[in-house]
């Protein structure tokens, strides 16, 4: 049973492009469908963590909006950062899913039970994944991956029922 989902940001939750204006302001676009799947997964008891190599107020804001409490930015060693989170919750790699897209994610992904990535990930990541989304990063890939995970664990139907229940 997966208890923790670890997310990379650029190329996974976003399209991987860095938008910087003339004033040095950085912008990122997040897919709201990814966000809904994350927030609903949290309501089902699944923990989420963001571990990213970059540092951005945007990531902190988006993660907090979704209910993600473990946000590690500026990571230079994703395995060390992941191990700290696992220890905090007393989880194992066997209870962990990792969604990433590029070489910086390769080593920690290999340690996790379930590995998934967007369609436009680098080949080395695609080769180690249990599931490759039909969508690119930032375009609903995380949603598709989470739906698969939640269906496999019998939780997706609970989410659907929360939205389809009628009030009498």
Domain of residue 46, CATH code: 3.40.50.1000
DSSP code of 166?
A: P
Residue 166 lies in a domain: no
- From the list 15, 32, 44, 85, the residue with the least C-alpha distance to 98 is 85
pLDDT digits (tens, 9 = 90+) for 72-116: 999 999 999 999 999 999 999 999 999 999 999 999 999 999 999
If you average pLDDT over residues 4-19, what whole number do you get?
96
Average pLDDT, the chain: 95
Query: How many structural domains compose the chain?
Result: 1
pTM for this structure? 0.94
Task: Inform me whether the pLDDT recorded for 168 exceeds 60.
Answer: no
Residue 23 lies in a domain: yes
Residue 168 lies in a domain: no
Residue 76 lies in a domain: yes
- 112 neighbors 85 (Cβ within 8 angstroms): no
Residue 165 lies in a domain: no
- pLDDT score for 162: 84
Residue 22 lies in a domain: yes
Residue 43 lies in a domain: yes
Residue 38 lies in a domain: yes
Tell me the residue range of the domain where 74 lies. Answer: 8-111+118-130+139-160
If you average pLDDT over residues 122-147, what whole number do you get?
98
- From the list 48, 59, 47, the residue with the least C-alpha distance to 18 is 59
């Amino acid at each position: 049973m997966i208890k923790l989902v670890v997310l990379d940001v650029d190329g996974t939750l976003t399209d991987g492009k860095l938008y910087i204006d003339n004033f040095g302001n950085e912008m990122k676009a997040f897919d709201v469908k990814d966000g809904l799947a994350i927030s609903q997964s949290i309501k089902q008891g699944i923990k989420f963590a963001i571990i990213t190599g970059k540092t951005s107020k945007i990531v902190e804001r988006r993660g907090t909006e979704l209910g993600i409490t473990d946000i590690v930015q500026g990571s230079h060693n994703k395995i060390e950062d992941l191990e700290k989170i696992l220890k905090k919750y007393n989880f194992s790699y066997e209870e962990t899913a990792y969604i990433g897209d590029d070489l910086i994610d390769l080593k920690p992904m290999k340690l996790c039970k379930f590995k998934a990535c967007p369609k436009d990930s680098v080949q080395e990541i695609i080769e180690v994944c249990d599931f490759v989304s039909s969508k690119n990063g930032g375009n609903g890939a995380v949603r598709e991956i989470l739906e698969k995970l939640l269906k496999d664990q019998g939780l997706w139907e609970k989410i659907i029922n929360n939205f389809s229940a009628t009030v009498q």
